[in-house]
Amino acid sequence: MERELVKIYDTSLRDGLRNSGISMTLEQKLRFAQQLERLQVDAIEIGYGSPSQVEAMSRLSQSLTGPVVFGLSRVNLKDIQRVLQGVEHAKKPGVNIFSPVSDSFLQKAKKGRQQAVEASVKAVAYAKQYVDYVAFSAQDATRADLAYLVEIFAAVITAGATVVSLADTVSYAVPAPFGQLCHAIRTRVPNGGKVTWSVHCHNELGLAVANSLAAIENGIRQVECTVDGIGEGEGNTRMQGVVTTLKVHEDFFSSVRTGIVYDQLARTSRLLSEIADPMTAMGLDKFN
C-alpha cells in the first residue's frame, strides 16, 4: 500500500522569526528559503500581510519554484491584498488567513462567533478569486467549542479553502486529547475529505512534536513547523523532530511518509545557526 504524504509547511521565515531574537537580512532570507527548497518542504510561509513586509515577500516569492509560497493574513481585506501582492510572482502562490475561534480570543478581538464566521468566509472567498491555494487557520482551536469549530471549518471549506488548520496557539494541548480533537473535526466537518488538514503547535509545554505526531496518527496530513523549533517563547514544532520520528519509526507510522530530503536536514540547521549567530546578526536590517 502506498504511503500517504504528510506535507511539511515551514514557517521559519514568519512565525520562527517572530519575537525569537533572530534577525535576518533579505539576502539571508533568500539563502535560507533556497535551502528549504533543497530540503523539499511542501510549503513555505514567507511573511505577514503588513506594509513593511511586501517588498521582502515579493523578492522571496520570485526565488522559489517548488513549494507553495504562503503569506499570512488576518481576516482583513487590506492584509490579504498585501499578501497577494507579496506572493503574486510565486510559481505557486497562497494565502493563509487566520481567525480567532475560542471564546477567549474572540472576546479579545471584540467579535461574536457568527461575526467571525462571516468575516472568515468573506476573506477566504476573496483570496480564492486570485490564488488556488487558500489556507484557513483556526487560532486557539484547542480551547474552542467543538460544534463551533465544525461550523466555521465547514463554512470556509464551502468558500474555497484548500487547507484548514488547527492552531494550538497558547500551547494548551496534550497528545491524546489533541489527537481525538483532530479525528473528531476531520470526520465531522462536511466536505472535510476535500481539503488538507493541518496543525500548528506551540511548544510552551514541550509537547509540540508529540502533539503533531498524535495529529498525524489521527489523519492530519500537514504539519506547520520551523527548523530547530525556532519561534517566540519556547518556539514552534521542531521540523527535525517530526521528520526524524516518522523515518526512525516508519514501522509504526507505516501508512505515511514525508517528501523531505533527509540528508539536507543537518545542512539546513547549520545554515540557520550560522545566520542566527549573535555576532553575525548585530546591526542587520530586520524584515520580520
For the whole model, what pTM was predicted?
A: 0.95
C-alpha cell of residue 46: 514567507
Question: In this predicted structure, what is the pLDDT of residue 48?
Answer: 96
Question: In this predicted structure, what is the pLDDT of residue 266?
Answer: 97
Q: How far is CA 27 from the centre of its chain?
A: 23
Question: In this predicted structure, what is the pLDDT of residue 156?
Answer: 98
Return d(Cα 76, Cα 245) in angstroms, integer. Answer: 38
Question: In this predicted structure, what is the pLDDT of residue 276?
Answer: 86
Domains of the chain with CATH codes:
4-281 (3.20.20.70)
Return d(Cα 14, Cα 145) in angstroms, integer. Answer: 28
Spatial neighbors of 12 by CB under 8 A, at least 6 apart, are 32, 36, 226, 227, 230, 272
Instruction: List C-alpha distances in Å: 255 to 128, 188, 221, 222.
Output: 32, 22, 11, 14
Question: In this predicted structure, what is the pLDDT of residue 281?
Answer: 40
Return d(Cα 79, Cα 97) in angstroms, integer. Answer: 9
**Phi, psi at residue 222, to the nearest 5°?**
-150, 140
pLDDT tens string for the chain (288 positions)? 789 999 999 999 999 999 888 999 999 999 999 999 999 999 999 999 999 999 999 999 999 999 999 999 999 999 999 999 999 999 999 999 999 999 999 999 999 999 999 999 999 999 999 999 999 999 999 999 999 999 999 999 999 999 999 999 999 999 999 999 999 999 999 999 999 999 999 999 999 999 999 999 999 999 999 999 999 999 999 999 999 999 999 999 999 999 999 999 999 999 999 998 754 443 333 333
Question: In this predicted structure, what is the pLDDT of residue 279?
Answer: 40
Instruction: List C-alpha distances in Å: 143 to 95, 100, 101, 104, 166.
Output: 24, 11, 8, 8, 11
Cβ neighbour number for residue 41 with a 10 Å cutoff: 28
Return d(Cα 285, Cα 26) in angstroms, integer. Answer: 8
Question: In this predicted structure, what is the pLDDT of residue 204?
Answer: 97
